[in-house]
Amino acid sequence: MESRPFDANQDFGRLQAFLAEMRQQVSQAAYYQFGDLLWRIHYASNAFDPATDLRIWQYEDASIAGFAHYQASDDNPEFLLRPELYDSRLADEMVAWVVARARAGGASAIEASCIEGDARKEAFLAHAGFCPLDDDPMVFMACRLADALPDPHLADGYEFATAAERPDLATVTGTPYSPAAYATMVQSHGYRDELGLRVVYKDEVVAGCIAWYDAVDRCGEFEPVGTVASHRGRGLAYAVMAQVMAHLKR
């Protein structure tokens, strides 16, 4: 077993296959959908550098045993490994790598996630010194695209626009993109322009989303999706998601 930094030239597809396997065998909620990893890498405010912030552990045949990432912007590491390895030396190495990076960055505490009922990961985190928090839970929800889809109806005065027509999502996400940063994201592994949609009102982008489709896992994920505060309560995020779900189904 060895560990190494992420390599963009070879690892996107390998991590995609690993995550799809774990989501299908263990739990969809316990492991990233591949689009979640892509969004974390490309979301401007994360300042995420995969060459230094993501480390892979692999077997002698180069198959992936797991990976960890830590970004100093939010002190929220993730440990994503095969469940049978939670009580192994590999798991201890992952924690040591994250703790060393956190201390070097001046962090006073770090937080990791675990779904309810994942006894192996709970035990692993407890052994590493993590304690449960009293924060509100995060809820994961899924929709079968084989079922009837909702109607993507917009109220009068609103219209859809493609990501190519209106690339800026700053009003929705709160984080503006430079032209260079946006160009990097739309050229990234896994991005499909027809899965990014906006709602425009009087020439202003007031709602929008990006969906990431994983052809290996055969699942899409919305990240991000939102509506500016002054236009909420009018079904705009609902409509934009419904329209993109129709694209995903096709």
CB atoms within 10 A of CB 228: 17
pLDDT > 90? residue 175: no
CB 127 within 8 A of CB 114: no
Q: Do domains 2-127 and 158-249 have the same CATH topology?
A: yes
CA 147 from centroid of its chain's CA atoms: 25
- Residue-level pLDDT at 181: 65
The tokens for 9 are: 């030239």
pLDDT > 60? residue 46: no
Q: Which residue has the higher pLDDT, 64 or 37?
A: 64
Give the range among 79-88, 148-157, 233-242 with minimum mean pLDDT.
Answer: 148-157
* Model confidence band, residue 43 (pLDDT cutoffs 50, 70, 90): low
- What average pLDDT does this structure show over 177-187? 68
CB 55 within 8 A of CB 5: yes
- What average pLDDT does this structure show over 131-144? 84
- Residue-level pLDDT at 84: 96
* Domain definitions of the chain by residue range: 2-127, 158-249
Question: If one looks up domain 2-127 in CATH, what number appears?
Answer: 3.40.630.30
* Model confidence band, residue 6 (pLDDT cutoffs 50, 70, 90): very high
Q: Return the SS3 of 5.
A: strand
pLDDT > 90? residue 164: no
CB-based burial, 71-109: b 16+ in 10 Å, e otherwise: bbeebebbbbbbbebbebebbeebbebbbebbeeeebee
- What average pLDDT does this structure show over 45-52? 71
**What are phi and psi for residue 109, nearest 5 degrees?**
-160, 160
- What average pLDDT does this structure show over 111-125? 92
10 Å CB burial of residue 53 (0-12, 13-18, 19+) is: buried
Question: If one looks up domain 158-249 in CATH, what number appears?
Answer: 3.40.630.30
Count of all residues that appear for the chain in the document: 250
Which of 99, 125, 123 is closest to 112 using CA atoms? 125
CA 209 from centroid of its chain's CA atoms: 13
Written as one string, the DSSP assignment of 45-63 is GG---HHHHEEEEE-TTS-
Which residue's entry shows tokens 């509100």? Answer: 136
pLDDT digits (tens, 9 = 90+) for 7-18: 988 999 999 999
Helix ranges (H only) for the chain are 11-25, 34-42, 50-53, 89-104, 119-127, 170-173, 179-186, 236-249
